[in-house]
Amino acid sequence: MPAKHVTVKAQSKLKTPVVTRYSRWVRLYTSIRHDPKIGMLSDHQFRAWINTLMIAGETEGGRLPSVKAIAYELRTTPDRAQQLIDDLIDVGLIDVAGRAGDIAILIPHNWTARQFQSDTSTERSRRHRERTRQQVDATGCNVAETSPQRNCSVPALTSVSDSEVSIQGSKNATYQTRETWPASDDEVPL
């Protein structure tokens, strides 16, 4: 199949991002090892494809920037970057998602399905706090938050067996007490 040359011009809204301390990430699925499209790539094309995914991960909606910006990111010439993009389009790893005038909008194949927006740790923490807000432990303390002033009474540990402590709810978990710890590394059985 002859290569389809797609000209990608600079888009003012899509600038090469500045790498921050907390870089973004993309999902990379293990099934790519078995994908014939990936298997047909040369090592250089594979590396360019992975780097193209990284570039897409730093843009809005996975839209790739201009060929000039891609060339810079791939540390190659614009002509070589254009050839790599054409090769990735030919094997179906980059899609032409549309056009904005004479500008092709390029997105890695199946980007929105594979790089879906997941929840953030902030959102998970908020949901967890909501679930545990009303939970109270056996001592009557609110376990959802750690207060600098503790206004609950915690019963003192009154006794521990001489050799082991059993964990309630675990049939096989036992832990040695300090009295039965080996005095030195020489006493540790191997």
Average pLDDT of span 1-22: 54
pLDDT reported for residue 170: 46
pLDDT reported for residue 48: 95
Bridge partners, 164 (sequence order): 176
C-alpha distance from residue 111 to each of 104, 114, 153 (Å): 16, 5, 54
Cα 59-63-67 angle, rounded to 5 deg: 100
| Predicted TM-score (pTM) of this structure | 0.53
User: What whole-number distance in Å separates Cα of residue 88 and Cα of residue 109?
Assistant: 10
In sequence order, what are the residues at sequence separation of 6 or more whose Cβ sits closer than 8 angstroms to the Cβ of residue 76? 84
Confirm if 154 and 139 have CB atoms less than 8 A apart.
Answer: yes
Asked if the model's pLDDT at residue 93 lies above 70, the reply is: yes
Domains and CATH numbers, the chain: 1-136 (1.10.10.10)
| Closest C-alpha among 48, 53, 71, 78 to residue 63 | 53
pLDDT reported for residue 112: 86
C-alpha distance from residue 26 to each of 33, 75, 118, 132, 182 (Å): 17, 21, 11, 31, 47
pLDDT reported for residue 80: 96
Q: Report CA torsion sign: 52, 55, 57, 60.
A: negative
User: What whole-number distance in Å separates Cα of residue 120 and Cα of residue 72?
Assistant: 31
E runs forming strands in the chain: 94-100, 103-108, 164-166, 174-176
In sequence order, what are the residues at sequence separation of 6 or more whose Cβ sits closer than 8 angstroms to the Cβ of residue 110? none
pLDDT tens, 130-189? Answer: 887 756 554 556 554 555 555 555 555 545 554 444 444 444 544 455 555 555 656 555
Count of residues making up the chain: 190
Residue 159 or residue 24, greater confidence: 24
